[in-house]
Structure 1
């Protein structure tokens, strides 16, 4: 119930008023039945803007850190995500990917919309990174279509590390649903999962116009962090 109060009474009207999102291809989102909406992830604002403009309820797999933050801010964030029906997923350890897939399949099994960011994390530089194959596993196992989605302009209004977003117009584009029924029964084939995931990412790329990086964002972030730690700066002489 809180989800619909947020969507239609509180947050939805406010976001539409402030950001005046351009919405393209909304007719591609199925009016009923299970489906996956797979999008790029540029900003914390993505969590709110896409659900605000969809006619149907959508459930996202949210990182567990949103539910375990310290202090008042952490408690408020956790309460918000729980009330909005979002599902926490622990991304650490070997079983993290399987746990996310189980939760996602549970949502799809109810005939609902599942929102997922195949990159697995927010882009730290505005580029589109290689997708993880979990989205393909869920699409093939549940036998549901995948609707590609592109958030355009959200990185500029609220890049990682910025607390409050700038008030600026953004665009949300949906592409035609992707049908992977030709791969039925092949959800355990690694080559098939990679091909399906890459096809999804290509469609997101076509919608977003981003620069593509054929590497996982998490690995690139880690490498950059290690590089900055190991960098030595010369002492200044007085």
Structure 2
């Protein structure tokens, strides 16, 4: 109920009024059945703008930090994401990655729409980074099509670190569903998962027009943090 109120009464109409999103290719989203919407991730605003225009309910795998923040702001953020039906995901890797995979598959097995950002984190500079293979593992295990999605302009309205978004028009593009049934039964083959993920990322790149970086965004961020000079003494 909370999701429906947000989408159709409170947040959805407000976002459409303020940002007047251009929507292209929404007909590629199946009217029913399991499917994965895989998109680039440029801004905190992505969490709200894309679900507001998708005709079906979409459940996102959201980073666990949104559910564990301190203070009043943290509690309100956690309540919002839980109320909207989003699933917390620990991004620490290893067993955490397996838990995220199980959570995503549970959504798909119910015939629902799953949203995921293959980059695993927001782009810190507006470029598109290498995708994590979890999206491929889910697609092959569930036998679900993948609909590539490109958010265009959301980095400019709310880059990382900006609390209040600028009011500018954005574009949301959906590509044709990608069918990976030819790889059925190969969901544990690393080379197959890499190939499927790269194909998904290429379609996102084609839709978004971003510059591509063949490295994981989290690793690039970490390297830049290590190189950043400390305070003078």
TM-score (norm 2): 0.98
1:78 positional shift: 0.4
| Separation (CA, whole Å) in 2 of partners of 1:8 and 1:100 | 29
The 5 A counterparts of 1:39-58 are 39-58=39-58
| Separation (CA, whole Å) in 1 of partners of 2:206 and 2:138 | 22
- Indicate the SS of the match to 1:59: strand
The 5 A counterparts of 1:4-153 are 4-153=4-153
| Separation (CA, whole Å) in 1 of partners of 2:165 and 2:98 | 33
| Separation (CA, whole Å) in 1 of partners of 2:169 and 2:102 | 36
Range that drifts further, 217-226 or 94-103: 94-103
1:94 positional shift: 2.0
| Separation (CA, whole Å) in 2 of partners of 1:99 and 1:195 | 23
Structure 1: gaps spanning 5 or more residues = none
Structure 1 runs of 4+ with >4 Å offset: none
- Indicate the SS of the match to 1:204: helix
Cα RMSD of the aligned pairs, angstroms, is 1.0
1:92 positional shift: 1.8
| Separation (CA, whole Å) in 2 of partners of 1:62 and 1:113 | 14
Report the equivalent of 1:186.
186
- Indicate the SS of the match to 1:148: strand
Aligned length: 233
- Larger Rg: 1 or 2? 1
| Separation (CA, whole Å) in 1 of partners of 2:93 and 2:130 | 20
TM-score (norm 1): 0.96
Please state if 1:156 is matched with 2:153. Answer: no
| Separation (CA, whole Å) in 2 of partners of 1:55 and 1:126 | 27
Structure 2: gaps spanning 5 or more residues = none
Report the equivalent of 1:217.
217
1:129 positional shift: 0.2
| Separation (CA, whole Å) in 1 of partners of 2:21 and 2:96 | 34
